[in-house]
Chain A
Amino acid sequence: MRVEHVRAKANWMRRRLLRMIVDAGQGHPGGDLSATDIVASLYFDTLRIDPLSPNAPGRDRFVLSKGHCTGALYTALAGAGFFPEADLDTYLKPNSRLNGHPNRTYLPGVETNTGPLGHGLPVAVGIAVAGQIDAAGYRVFVVTGDGELQEGSMWEAAMFAGHRGLGNLTVIVDRNRLQQGARTEDTNALEPLVDKWRAFGWDVFEIDGHDVAALLTAFDDAALPRSRPRVLIANTVKGQGVSFMRDQASWHHGVPSAAQYAQAIAELEAEQAK
């Protein structure tokens, strides 16, 4: 039941974010679609958040470290009730609250402004340290890109999280293996990625980032108390859900034509009908 609920939301997010990108004439569909199942699992099952009280001190935190994937974030926030769904129609338009990268001073539910890579994890580590000092019960979840792990600040933060034993922190690496221009392993190789995180003091798990049941189980397993930070290397496909976008670097910030959009929606509706 939980799984079906999340899968339906994820399908809706995919259709809705593609419409946003087509309407706006720009966006980052490839990375939005690789992260959608992860973000949907968090927002529509795991996170203890209240859109009526978005700054409640005890809330779970979600930080989108790969801040360019606003399609996934904004549809999740709208779907969870943080702002009206109609606001999605303003995406990237003049004076919209829905900037190309998330801004907490514009939108409730955004914890910190991201966009330049390498910022979200250090901030999330700080939130987790505050929770550790206060013995607060909240958890902190972060979605990072895999290419983002080429930023040095990510490893500064990873090292410190391991040192502090931040058991309230869960990082999900959206391991779609593509960065903006090419494969991660052809650009600046990340592997052996499991070993890297383990060496920094983290509990490491590999997971299928499109298997909602597996994601929910992994998030459940991260329940407190824990004494070490946990990272899920979520193997994903850039452009997941739309056949012609799958695993193509060109869809990092491509925009579908009208015909491509119609095909994408048809494919997603067929998937939903199953």
Chain B
Amino acid sequence: MSAAAPAAGLHDCREAYVRAIAELAAEDDRIVAVVNDSVGSSKLGAFRDRFPTRLINVGIAEQNMVGVGAGLANGGKIPFVSGAACFLTARAMEQIKVDCAYSQANVKLCGISSGVAYGELGATHHSIEDIAWLRAIDKLTIIVPSDPWETAAAIKAAAAWDGPVFLRISRMPVPDIARTAGAAFVIGRAETLRSGDDVAIVATGTLVHRAIAAAEALAAEGVSARVINMATVAPIDTDALAAAAATGAIVTAEEGLATGGLGGAVAEYCARNHPVPMQMIGFPGFLPTGSADWLMENFGLTAHGIAAAARDVIARKR
């Protein structure tokens, strides 16, 4: 599928992903890429040209792709197994569970064009269930980067991490997130992008910049919103969640199912430890026909939607 280049100031995170993999591969010959005929959609053409023996294309066969990834790890490689998130996860779920997580194979699974990036192609091609599904698998790290910098940092952190990792790579155009100098990506550690004590917005992936915009709108109304970038959804940063719960109201936001994913993870933590009013921004299920932008807008995955949810949970505070 061809897509127009992102508008000025916005980025397709696949670019950062392929750059990071190429940089790693140049330094470490254990790095290989495994794809399911997805060289184009994963933007790995340049990688294949530069490292022809290290691009393993199994064809349209996702179960075999993930099994081969686990085998390459057994053979001493660090495989980045990349395919459209919808097929990589759903089609090969048992291979992810058994060959990667249960076997603790050193495989890096990259779900490309996650969420609703495929827009009009419909629910078969949306990958909104992936976080909920994968979060149920023990000993599988799940990372959902928010922008190009974090995507590259997460890829490098995953390569250095001994064990299976799922990276949810977006193609939805996103701006660079403003960060303080010296910001570092650490697997399992959330990033507090904005402090605040009236409400906490816990966001991941493409919803992070929208959460910041929501917090800015709320600030204009005198509402102080904490913004947490929960890039690592599993294992989740419970210290950050404790700080979020301390505000007394939480909104979660993700480009995925509102329940079961990040929202579910945060709700589980709060129900057990610190119940507070919550709202979950995300999708309800199979979605109607529409572009990615329209779907995000129509289902309230916007700064406006997050801010409205924040006002709601604040009103419900005791």
Contacts and interface: CB of A to CB of B under 8 A. Distances in A.
Contact of B77 (A114, A119, A130, A160): A130
Contact of B102 (A103, A126, A136, A153): A103
Interface stretch (A46-54, A105-113, A184-192, A238-246): A105-113
Contact of A156 (B58, B73, B74): B58
A216 interface: no
For chain A, which range describes its interface: under 10, 10 to 19, 20 to 34, or 35 or more residues? 20 to 34
A175 interface: no
A157 B99 CA distance: 14
Interface in A105-160: 105, 111-116, 118-119, 121-131, 133-134, 136, 152-153, 156-157, 159-160
A166 to B, nearest CB: 11
Q: Which one of A103, A136, A156 has the highest number of Cβ atoms from chain B below 10 Å of its Cβ?
A: A156
Given A103-B102, A112-B105, A125 B76 contact: no
A113 B99 contact: yes
Interface stretch (B17-25, B61-69, B172-180): B61-69
Contacts of B66: 122
B54 A61 contact: no
B98 A125 contact: no
Nearest to A128: B71
B259 interface: no
Q: Classify the secondary structure of B's interface with A.
A: helix
For chain B, which range describes its interface: under 10, 10 to 19, 20 to 34, or 35 or more residues? 20 to 34
B59 interface: yes
A130 B99 contact: no
B32 interface: yes
A116 B72 contact: no
A157 B64 contact: yes
Contact of A122 (B53, B64, B75): B64
In the complex, the 8 A-B pairs of residues with the closest C-beta atoms, listed nearest first = A126-B71, A130-B75, A122-B67, A156-B64, A126-B68, A156-B61, A153-B63, A127-B71
18 contacts: A103-B103, A112-B99, A113-B98, A119-B94, A121-B67, A122-B67, A123-B99, A125-B67, A127-B72, A127-B75, A130-B71, A130-B77, A131-B75, A152-B63, A153-B64, A156-B64, A160-B59, A160-B61
Interface of B: 32, 53-54, 56, 58-59, 61, 63-64, 66-77, 79, 94-95, 98-99, 102-105
